[in-house]
């Protein structure tokens, strides 16, 4: 079952969405939030798979809320303003529903989200195996075996990641979240240094001004990850 929350500053809209959600057997409403800030509080405490987000809200609008999330659930925007549609899909929304929303339209959107969620559920850590120093990755319609030692760094791109491998011109792009991949990789070799980057610690040869340098690529070290990373470096520092 998908855990979801609704976010809208209109009480009637929240009531309608709650009624619709109660009629869909694979949806579980975790919370109805009157603004983006209360939604952020829920997201910090609960596991949420799907957001129903109004865009035009005071203080922090729905688009900015979604952009601010480092780990994004699936998103369905609900709004009365058609002009926001393009911006909505730029943040990889599953669907964009114009108010007033009828139940059939709502159901089509949630069915799309559910199918996407079920696909992601099948991409779990059991798809990985690194006991022999290798990793199996589902990339497009193929499964590719790569050596952990060949991975330079990993970049998060919303619903998928880019895995940069030595001597490969193109990055592998499996449909995985950064969190799921981070949990699957051995922490003795890989460290998350930014909300958008995981690096192979064995591949680090140069650091400058809190940036890790991989050739022409400069990977920033995020404020929330700096202490752990610098602890790792300082333990190996010759003085």
Residue-level pLDDT at 187: 85
Q: Give domain limits for the chain.
A: 2-122, 126-235
User: What pLDDT was estimated at residue 126?
Assistant: 44
pLDDT of residue 125: 47
- What are the start-end ranges of the H helices in 46-143? 62-68, 85-90, 103-122
Q: Give me the CATH code for the 2-122 domain, please.
A: 3.40.50.2300
The total of other beta-carbon atoms located within 10 Å of residue 29's CB is 18
Asked if 151 and 161 touch (Cβ cutoff 8 Å), the reply is no
The CATH architecture to which 126-235 belongs is: Beta Barrel (2.40)
The answer, yes or no, to whether residue 159 has pLDDT greater than 80, is no
* pLDDT 10s digits, 56-109: 888 888 888 988 887 788 999 998 876 655 555 556 788 889 999 999 999 999
Judge whether residue 154 has pLDDT over 80. Answer: yes
Which tens digit of pLDDT belongs to each residue from 116-145? Answer: 888 666 555 445 555 567 888 877 667 888
């Amino acid at each position: 079952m998908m855990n979801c929350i609704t976010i809208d500053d209109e009480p009637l809209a929240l009531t309608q969405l709650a009624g619709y959600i109660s009629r869909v057997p694979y949806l579980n409403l975790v919370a109805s939030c009157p603004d983006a800030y209360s939604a952020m509080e829920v997201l910090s405490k609960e596991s949420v798979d799907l957001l129903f987000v109004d865009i035009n809200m005071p203080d922090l609008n729905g688009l900015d809320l979604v952009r601010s999330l480092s780990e994004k659930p699936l998103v369905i925007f609900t709004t009365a303003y058609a002009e926001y549609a393009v911006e909505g899909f730029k943040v990889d929304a599953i669907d964009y529903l114009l108010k007033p929303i009828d139940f059939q339209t709502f159901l089509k959107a949630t069915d799309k989200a559910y199918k996407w969620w079920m696909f992601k559920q099948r991409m779990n850590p059991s798809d990985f195996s690194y006991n022999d120093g290798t990793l199996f990755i589902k990339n497009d319609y193929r499964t590719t075996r790569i050596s952990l030692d060949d991975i330079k760094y990993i970049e998060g791109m919303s619903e998928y990641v880019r895995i940069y491998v030595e001597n490969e011109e193109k990055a592998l792009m499996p449909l995985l979240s950064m969190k799921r991949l981070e949990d699957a990789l051995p922490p003795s070799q890989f460290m998350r240094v930014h909300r958008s980057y995981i690096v192979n610690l064995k591949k680090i040869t140069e650091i400058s001004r809190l940036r890790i340098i991989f050739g022409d690529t400069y990977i920033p070290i995020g404020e929330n990850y700096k202490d752990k990373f610098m602890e790792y470096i300082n333990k190996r520092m010759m003085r």
